[in-house]
Amino acid sequence: MTTQSLQESIKITLRFLKQVCWQLKVKGILSKDHFVGMLAFLRVFADDYHHENEQNVMVSTVMADEIPKEDPVITTLHEYAIGRNYLRDMSKAFAAYMTGDRSSSQGVIQNAQAYISLMNGYIEKERKASSVDRLSR
């Protein structure tokens, strides 16, 4: 799978997640099956498959002191950790919501919105970097 098609798949899921959050906020409706599927996709496909592969390359480069500590790679690694925290907190809030704690819907929405914003920003940076890379060849 190309980076571009991976990004498109993630962006589609983020748009769907945004819609699910809107339904939760406005209508008080949250489809368990849809939400579980989105979380699984984001964890397995976006994070485990895509980000972890990139992270392994970046960490080995950082550990070899081949890049300065203020390099964008360090920022990206930090963003991955933040994204994982949002997914974890979103999952916790969702679990609480599913046990009847309707007030935890705010945690679902806030963490989902933060994750969507983070990932859209990351995808845009990745897109720009690949455009610059193609132009420099």
- Please give the Cα distance from 46 to 23 (Å, whole number): 24
- Looking at residue 23, its pLDDT comes to 95
At a CB cut-off of 8 Å and minimum separation 6, what does 50 contact? Answer: 6, 10
**Long-range interactions of 120-128: CB distance < 8 A, separation 24+:** 120/11, 120/14, 122/76, 122/79, 122/83, 123/7, 123/10, 123/11, 125/72, 126/3, 126/7, 127/7
Which of the pair, 91 or 69, is modelled with greater confidence? Answer: 91
CA 60 to CA 68: how far, in whole Å? 13
Tens-digit pLDDT profile for residues 76-99: 777 888 998 999 999 999 999 999
Both structure tokens of 3: 């980076």
- pTM for this prediction: 0.79
The helix/strand/coil state of 31 is coil
Q: Quote the CA–CA distance of 51 and 111 in Å, as a whole number.
A: 19
Which amino acid belongs to residue 118?
L
What's the confidence (pLDDT) of residue 85? 94
